[in-house]
Structure 1
Amino acid sequence: MLGHQYRKYSSMVANEALLYAQSLTLSGDGKDVWVFDIDETSLSNLPYYAQWIPITPNYSITGRTEDQRDLTANNLRQAGYHTREKLILKGSSYSGKKATVYKSSERKKLEKSRHRIIGNMGGQWSDLLGTNVGNRTFKLPDPMYYIG
């Protein structure tokens, strides 16, 4: 899983995201956010993001369920994420719905609350497709599994 090609591609995507993040002019009102998936993105690619996550508020949308909130928050803290602003977990109202539907709905809620999604990063296409995906998306490799 952590072979040369995986590291090379992950580094390439992270570097592109970093260049993009550094080019942004933020509004300063706290409404510019970057959305991250958690599993196989934030938790397994920590070294690539450690240098630039503080650039914007970090909003995490995960397919983990609400009953895993404490465990998930603890996983993120132990991995070094101390600047996360919001952790969005899958509620029971999304049971049986595709990940794209759930994540699109949650991103739409962010935008309705006047947040601007300036970046969106995930390891699955379901993290990045659908509606309200943000100004720019970054797809990381995920050799572990595929969510359709």
Structure 2
Amino acid sequence: MMKTLVALLLVATIAAAAHASGDEEYQNFPLGLKSDGASEHATLQGITCSSWRLAVEVHNIIEWSTVPAECENYIGQYMESPKYRQHSKAVNREAFLWVRDVPFPKDGRNIWIFDLEETILSSLPYYSQNGFGVQKFNSTQFDAWVEKGVAPALPETQKLYNKLLNLGIKIVFLTGRTISHHEVTVKNLKRAGYHTWHKLILKNPAEHSGKTALEYKSAEREKLVKQGYRIIGVTGDQWSDILGPATGIRTFKVPNPMYYII
């Protein structure tokens, strides 16, 4: 009886703490591999939503602003299904199988560049509460989510990150987050299990005002090359992460059908 009371008190305490922290609205954990109930036959103007997602991923549908309303349920179910993680695994597995056989010089100048959102860290707890990309992006709301510092790691990319470190490749995080989020980003990365990196590059609005994401990230990669670094690979969830100059030897895109950044 006493053990039961102690257990109940512990559960109540944890629940109260979660409520007090204000994180209860983000309790949906995106990486638990729920059953795959995504309907392959949800339709959008004569095509299936799965076909729309594929066209988005291979960059045939571009410069879209929101997920079509007809596809909200499909995208939500896909993002919370085994398929999303399996697709991510395929990308990261291929990256490792390739890089382990690359005969790059062992001179300490080799780097691998990762984006953050939907590449290293998952914002799905936020997007699950905001229509999985159907709603227009609200920078104020998203910044508030970032400042919570609770974004979980994306497991398959984290495996690649660890393998790259074991190969002696230095990690560079290059994100569209602004420098005002530096402190919380460091804490979030460590909380999510990323304890080692060579550089964390956040956007300085004073330097990159008016630039697209592609222009900003290209410029930062070019700086790294000029500093003598050798970019072995780049991983991102957006085409703007992996296009442009100074993209290294190979690029890898992990899936993200929830938003498009130019």
Q: Give the TM interval when normalised to the shorter protein.
A: over 0.9
Unaligned runs of at least 5 residues, structure 1:
none
Partner of 1:30: 108
Higher RCO (Cα < 8 Å, 6 or more apart)? 1
Aligned residues of 2:118 and 2:154 also touching (Cα < 8 A)? no
Partner of 1:47: 155
Aligned residues of 2:235 and 2:254 also touching (Cα < 8 A)? yes
Q: CA RMSD in A?
A: 1.3
One-letter amino acid matched to 1:46? L
Q: Which of 224, 238, 251 is residue 110 of structure 1 equivalent to?
A: 224
Q: Secondary structure at the match of 1:7?
A: helix
- Matched residue count: 148
Partner of 2:175: 62
The equivalences for 1:93-132 within 5 A come to 93-132=207-246
Offset of residue 24 of structure 1: 2.2
Partner of 2:87: 9
TM-score by length of 2: 0.54
Residue 188 (structure 2) pairs with residue 75 (structure 1): yes
Unaligned runs of at least 5 residues, structure 2:
1-78, 123-152
Offset of residue 21 of structure 1: 1.9
Q: Secondary structure at the match of 2:198?
A: strand
Q: Percent identity?
A: 47
- Larger Cα-atom Rg: 2
The range that moved more, 1-10 or 109-118, is: 1-10
Q: Which has the higher strand share?
A: 1
One-letter amino acid matched to 1:23? D
Q: Distance in 1 between matches of 2:107 and 2:196?
A: 17
Q: Distance in 2 between matches of 1:26 and 1:77?
A: 29
One-letter amino acid matched to 1:116? R
- List 4+ stretches of structure 1 deviating above 2 A: none
Aligned residues of 2:115 and 2:235 also touching (Cα < 8 A)? yes
